Amino acid sequence: MKQAFIAAVLATTFLTPVAAAEYQAESSIDAVTVFPRGAEVTRLARVELEDGDHTLTLDSLPGSIDPESIRVEGVSSGQIEIASVDSKTVHVTDEAATAEERKRVEDRIEALHDERAALDQLIADATYQRKLLQELASKPFSIQSPGDSPVPVSSTEFGNMFDMVSARLLALSKTVLEANVRKRGIDKDIGQLHNALSELAPKQRIKTVITVHLSSDAAGEGLLKLRYKIADAGWQPYYEARLDSASDADQPSLTLVRRAEVTQHTTETWDDVKLTLSTARPTGSTAAPELLPEIISLIEEQRKRDRDLNGLYSMQPKSEDDAAEVYDTAALPPPQRKEFAAKMLEAEAIMAGFQALYTIQGRVSIDNAGTAKKVRISSSDISAELAVQSVPKLDPHAYLTANFTLDGETPLLRGRVMLFRDGVYMGNGVLPMLAPGEDHMLGFGIDDLVKVKRVEVKNHTSETGLITTEKVQERSWAITVENLHDTAMPVIIYDQLPYSMHEDIEVELLPGSTRPGERDVDNKRGVLSWSYDAQPNKEIAITFGYRITRPEDANVRVGWN
């Protein structure tokens, strides 16, 4: 009957008997759990053991394994006890190629150099022959020796000679051209062979060797399971949000598709593995940060302390007594701390304590060359409430939004989202981290059937007061909203009222302004909103204005911090 291995301890002080049998265990990756940063790899190794003490060695594992994360367990047909697990990091030289392979590449490079030298000689010979022909052709076609009579040359003989010289020059030019083309090819081949030769050179790498010391009371077969954590891997979520508003305007539907992009840059390839994605972050912080005391002090007092402190550090002691006095920092103020500001297979989602696990269906292969493996996690149809939002002070357009409540049992991690409206791609957005049951709003682009206008109707500055003169500035705008849809559409208009940080500067809404439905929206001071159920082909008018009263000698600026 199969029995579970005793839990492995990472002790390295166990001494194996001299007579212990040593085995080189072959292992393969069976499953990988990928975190947003890092991964946990599970390897399997089948072993045949005799009774007695044994040492199993798993060689050539990645050098970036976290040694403290190594765990060994398994099952067997007999009683087996694991005494200890040792791990060490080894620097090795990989013989990427044999001497024969390197010699073959070097011989090919030498042969190409010889061929290039022969082409250089061929070009030189052809160039000399061209020069010789050109010199002969330039000579007079008659005997020039004293006393010799000229030998006439007929037109036929002259034409034949001209054709011969032209053909020979053309052949020589072709020879030179072909030789130069071949030289360029040889240079390219030599460069590629030198690159191949450098790839064949021995390379240094780091590997992890794990040794398992165990004992068995009887011969039998066992299955060893090795787990370890490794960096240089991770996954990030991304989403598709598809809004269907055309089929049923009363009940628009939002389809939210969860996907994941998995990458790994380890020294091992994950071939045909069980892939699980976890939302846990084992490489992040494990506890909340600690707050240190924060002191409020006057600027002048702080500068004086800084000057005194710099003066103490810059003094040079003349004796041991002076040194004791100068560098006695017990009375110094505490140092100030610096602060810096197709139908896709879907995963099976499981809530395991405080993390969500997504088990990808089937088996997956992910290479270590940086290829991003994209998998689908899940999809869900969510009821959405449509509305139109506009900030006419900054943008005259109205934007269609969909408000929804996240369903299911697993949270959404922060990630980018591709937005589709009635099958049309509208752009990208960002989904924050959302918990099940949490509300959120997504924007789906400009709604051309809702027209918004904001026109300034008043901008006036005056003075008031008899004894103390004050300046009064009044500004107001007329905002109109027109719904051209066939049905009613919820509309939200945003604007802002400036606020004062000084008690002698007052800001108030002008009389006659349309009362806002909400003030300080999302706890943003001065932000106002007006909400309406805009009827089709109807116009909504909003009057908005404010008055700023300030002393005459006070210069103010209205704007963002």
**Tens digit of pLDDT for each residue in 400-439?**
999 999 988 888 888 999 999 998 999 999 999 998 899 9
- Grade residue 95 by pLDDT with cuts at 50, 70 and 90: low
* Average pLDDT value for residue range 197-202: 75
pLDDT at 22 over 50: yes
- pLDDT cut 70: percent of the chain above it: 77
314 has a pLDDT exceeding 60: no
pLDDT at residue 294 tops 50: yes
Q: Provide CB contacts within 8 A for 477, sequence distance 6+.
A: 454, 455, 456, 457, 495, 543, 544, 545
Q: Name residue 168's amino acid.
A: R
More confident residue, 426 or 75: 426
Among 279, 286, 263, 257, which Cα is nearest to 413's? 279
C-alpha dist (Å) from residue 207 to 107, 228, 450, 543: 34, 14, 64, 73
Across the range 513-518, mean pLDDT stands at 94
> Taking 60 as the threshold, does the pLDDT of residue 185 lie above it?
yes
- pLDDT, tens digit, 9 for 90 and up, residues 321-374: 444 443 344 444 555 555 444 455 666 666 655 677 888 888 889 988 878 889
**Angle at CA 484, nearest 5°, toward 478 and 485?**
135
The predicted pLDDT at position 482 comes to 95
**pLDDT at 450 > cutoff 60:** yes
> What average pLDDT does the segment 513-532 reach?
93
CA dihedral 130, 131, 133, 134 (to 10 degrees): 110
User: Which pLDDT tens digit goes with each residue over 459-501?
Assistant: 988 877 666 678 888 999 999 999 999 889 999 999 999 988 8
How much is the pLDDT for 157?
Answer: 65
Q: Which residue has the tokens 């036929």?
A: 156
